[in-house]
Amino acid sequence: MEYLSGGDLRGFMTTYAPIPIPAIRFIAAELICGLQFLHSRGIIHRDIKSDNILLDNNGHLKIADFGLAVMNIFGNAKTTGWAGTLEYMAPEILLEKPYNTVVDWFSAGVVIYEMATGRYPFSEDEIEENIEKALINDDPAFPKELDPQVKAVIKGLLDKSPKSRQKFVDNIKDHPFFTEINWTEIEGGKASPPFHLPPPPVMTSDAMKDVLSFSEATKPRMAKKNQNLFCGFTFADDGWKVVKQMQKAKTPNRRPKTPHHRSPTTESGGG
């Protein structure tokens, strides 16, 4: 796997809070591009949270941990299944309704709220039932001093209605909050982060031996039939590269609980 020395976004928020608006804008923009990339390939991540957003040594984002992801959700297709980390789960998942890629955008809204305020947007109660009720029924409270444009972005992403949320996401790159963003540079990984990370730790020979002896490093290469899943990603092991492109198939102070996966996931072609 690619080595990412910048740690995860939760650690970044804890270290650098409060995060300035330019950094929030840059991180949100890269997250948007990452989600659009996945969704264009029919992948719903289902566990977007600050712990699963990693940074490389320059401060660029990488979405990680696809253990709860579901694939081949294109067009009007939807899936079901109670999966994710509770505090970041969209209302439609909690209500056990069919859903599509728009659930990831709700989770992204929670992440951006955490970056902008240093708090969790809904109930701080430790009782899961109360957290679920808050996610389904409550609107987030915004600090008076919060930048109005980032507030508007968060409100659009945390919309309880999947249809309204999707409508907002369809035009999110045109939102005034992102006026200063050059999307071509962001998508090409050429934009410079408006912050500097400390240099990565030096990897000693003993530490390298431990890494190489780890069981994951000794596993056999991925089967050829699965290699096309990695087409177009920014990093791929030489053993995963293929020639053909993949074809479309017919908060800092709040540590989230363990991801949930209550029931098996099924796919349907419902509208």
pLDDT tens readout for residues 50-81: 999 999 999 999 999 999 999 999 988 999 99
The residue-averaged pLDDT of 104-115 equals 97
What share of the chain in percent tops pLDDT 90?
A: 66
Cα–Cα dist 88/111, whole Å: 8
The residue-averaged pLDDT of 27-39 equals 97
- pTM equals 0.79
Catalytic residue check, 8: no
Tokens standing for 138? 């409550």
pLDDT band, residue 267 (cuts 50/70/90): very low
Give me the residues paired with residue 267 across strands: 79
Q: Where are the alpha helices (DSSP H) in the chain?
A: 9-16, 21-40, 91-94, 102-117, 128-137, 148-157, 162-170, 183-187, 205-213, 224-227
User: For residue 26, is pLDDT > 80?
Assistant: yes
Alpha-carbon distance values, 125 to 87, 254, 256, 258 (Å): 11, 11, 12, 16
pLDDT band, residue 132 (cuts 50/70/90): very high
pLDDT band, residue 236 (cuts 50/70/90): low
Tokens standing for 109? 């809204």
47, 51, 104, 159: which is the annotated catalytic residue?
A: 47
User: For residue 234, is pLDDT > 90?
Assistant: no
Domain residue ranges of the chain, discontinuous segments joined by +: 9-207+250-268
> What end-to-end distance do the CA atoms of the chain give, in Å?
37
Chain centroid, CA 44 distance in Å: 10
Tens digit of pLDDT for each residue in 179-210? 999 999 999 999 999 998 877 666 666 766 66
Average pLDDT value for the chain: 85
268: enclosing H helix or E strand: strand 266-268
Say which DSSP state 140 is in: P
> What topology is assigned to 9-207+250-268 in CATH?
Transferase(Phosphotransferase); domain 1 (1.10.510)
The pLDDT of residue 243: 40
Chain centroid, CA 199 distance in Å: 25
User: For residue 108, is pLDDT > 50?
Assistant: yes
Residue type, 4: L
Burial of 31 (0-12, 13-18, 19+ CB in 10 A): buried
User: For residue 216, is pLDDT > 80?
Assistant: no
Range in 161-165, 227-231, 251-255 with the lowest mean pLDDT: 251-255
255 versus 47: the higher-pLDDT residue is: 47
Q: Any residues with CB less than 8 A from the CB of 27 and at least 6 apart, and which?
A: 9, 19, 61, 115
